[in-house]
Amino acid sequence: MRFKGRIAVVLGGNSGIGLASAIEFAREGAQVVITGRNPVTLAAAAEEIGAGTLALQSDISDLSALDIAMARIAEAHGRIDVLFVNAGIGAFAPLEEVTEAYWDTMLDTNLKGPFFAVQKAVPLMGAGGAVVLTASLGHVKGIAGNSVYAAAKAGLRALARNLGAELVGRGIRVNSFSPGPIDTPLFSRSGIPESDMPGFRAFIEGAVPMKRFGTPQEAARAVLFLASDDASFITGIDMFVDGGAASF
């Protein structure tokens, strides 16, 4: 019950790591708010998380939608104790196929949106608050076709360091965590043809020292640690949850 009486907001909480984390926040006593773009999966996630969950349809790349979401959170709870910025999209595209529209979509969702989400949430946060940003193994490992996504996630890792320095005086900790291959719906939305997916998964598993994908629950445990008082003397770091892929 590390989060009893606390308000935990999970942006991108309707599937994958975000949903697994929201479930664990609720199990440990938090009142949970989730956002997501898909109303169907959002409703299903709220039911799975449990009674009292506030589910808000919101697109992190839409700054006006972020304003509305934060106003709803302020109205419902008055504050935010934990902000987990997990919303994002992933796709592979070789250099020659990257368009300006692709670049803008990827950066708006994976970097610009998260920055302004923190900016808009901070007025609702106080001393003891924690922000966790979902970065990626991709910001330290070169993968063909992953350049734009990786650039955005490298930016998130930089945000954790710099926003951590900016907010430490207010008693708000900011950290990122970098998942490696986690078995979530993000893979099915990555643009890889379904016929190529078995070979791609086998390639990824072979490249991970533990020789498997991680689970959303394993990623969630890292998120909850960084958000909890167990990490009260930790800010500005990036925690890898990657089966050893970044290390050896």
- CB 12, CB 18: distance < 8 Å: yes
User: What would the DSSP string read from start to end of 37-66?
Assistant: S-HHHHHHHHHHH-TT-EEEE--TT-HHHH
Give the span between the Cα atoms of 79 and 117, in whole angstroms.
Answer: 14
Distance from C-alpha of 10 to C-alpha of 132, rounded to nearest angstrom: 10
Q: Determine the Cα angle at 100 with ends 193 and 68, to 5°.
A: 90
Can you tell me the distance from the alpha carbon of 140 to that of 215, in angstroms, rounded to the nearest whole number?
Answer: 21
Angle formed at CA 215 by CA 213 and CA 221, multiple of 5 degrees: 130
Strand partners, 84: 10, 132
Distance, CA of 162 to CA of 167 (rounded, Å): 9
Give the residue numbers annotated as catalytic, written as ranges.
Answer: 149
Contact call for residues 3 and 82 (beta carbons, < 8 A): yes
What does residue 247 show for φ and ψ, rounded to 5 degrees?
Answer: -100, -30
* Residue (of 138, 175, 173) closest to 158 by Cα position: 175
